[in-house]
Amino acid sequence: MFVHPLLQLYQPQMKFLPLLVVIRAIAAAGLNLPFSLPPGITRLVGGPTLPFPQWLTDFTGLKEWPGLDPPFIPLDFIDFSKIEPANHHIQGQCDMITPTSCSFDCQNCVSFDDVYTCPVLSQTFDDGPTPATTKLLANLKTKTTFFVLGHNVAKYPDTYRQAVAAGHIMGSHTWSHKFLPSLSNEEIIAQIQWSIWAMNATGHHLPKWFRPPYGGLDNRVRSIVRQFGMQNVLWDYDTFDWKLNDNSKSAGQVVAEVDQLIKSRTHGLMLEHDMMVQTVNIGIDINKKLPSQMTVPQCIGGIDYIKRFN
């Protein structure tokens, strides 16, 4: 019997693969796979369920949500002359980065308006919404900040609305989790604008807070994000829960390291993920140990959203 090569990615002996490898492989093949993924892995690729709004058709001329590479739509308020120059680089290649770039991913550099810590040790969650997010929402005892992918918002709009209704803060994490310093200016803008449009079409608001995927942030990216009126949010503690994806860390190791953090400090912003059940379970466990937390806007006395619509 012929077995498509992609099906071999899910043989029982292979518990997990890096999530982005799975996503890109499925997307490239254009498959709607008729089988269940391994426990805890949520499918992030597929057709959106969020209706494409008429106002967005009127503005873009399009009638459906884009794939993982959204088209650039010119915006009157984006001034390309105000975009700071910087050497493009792919993730992990930092030899061409200059100090003036203020790269977070290469130099751990933060700018004057970057949010990277909090007076109270607080959780934040990236890469949702996913089917695993609903379990997290049902068990959180504090308000938190979610940094969502626009592509997932379009696919799981009800979960997004559930988070909004519960009073959590929703920030942008781009449309499809691209490493922004490697992209052109137009591609960065497309990643941001389509994320905002999905959030607006679902939650009827414009996000104030933005987290660059992989912490890929330099002054060129900052100068674009600022023109959208948003503010970059980073972190000063990475739980490394995402390493559960390739088994380079166990859940026990992640929890033990966080327990040590809680004993040693009372402030900070923690990077976590609601992309799969395993990371959600860790998030729930940590949440029980931190009964007093802040959302990102509470951390700095900022606003929740740029604008809310009725």
pLDDT, tens digit (0-9, with 9 covering 90-100), for 28-71? 333 433 333 334 333 344 578 999 999 999 999 999 999 999 99
Domain that holds residue 216: 80-308
Rounded mean pLDDT, 157-173: 98
Rounded mean pLDDT, 2-31: 36
Residue 127 resides in a domain: yes
Beta bridge partners of 237: 270
pTM, rounded to two decimals: 0.85
With CA atoms as reference, report the closest residue to 176 among 26, 69, 52: 69
For residue 155, pLDDT beyond 60: yes
The amino acid occupying position 169 is: I
**Angle (nearest 5°) at CA 196 between 299 and 160:** 75
Rounded mean pLDDT, 244-271: 94
pLDDT of residue 245: 85
Rounded mean pLDDT, 15-30: 40
End-to-end CA distance of the chain: 55
Residue 31 resides in a domain: no
CATH classification at residue 166: 3.20.20.370
The verdict on whether 126 is a catalytic residue reads yes
Rounded mean pLDDT, 130-154: 98
168, 241, 273, 274: which one is catalytic? 273
Split into its structural domains, the chain has a count of 1
pLDDT of residue 20: 42
105, 126, 241, 304: which one is catalytic? 126
Residue 24 resides in a domain: no
With CA atoms as reference, report the closest residue to 146 among 113, 122, 176: 122
For residue 12, pLDDT beyond 80: no
> Which strand ranges, in their side-by-side order, compose the sheet holding 169-172?
231-232, 209-210, 169-172, 145-148, 122-128, 269-273, 237-238
Q: What tokens were used for 261? A: 């953090």
Q: How far apart are CA 225 and CA 231, in angstroms?
A: 7
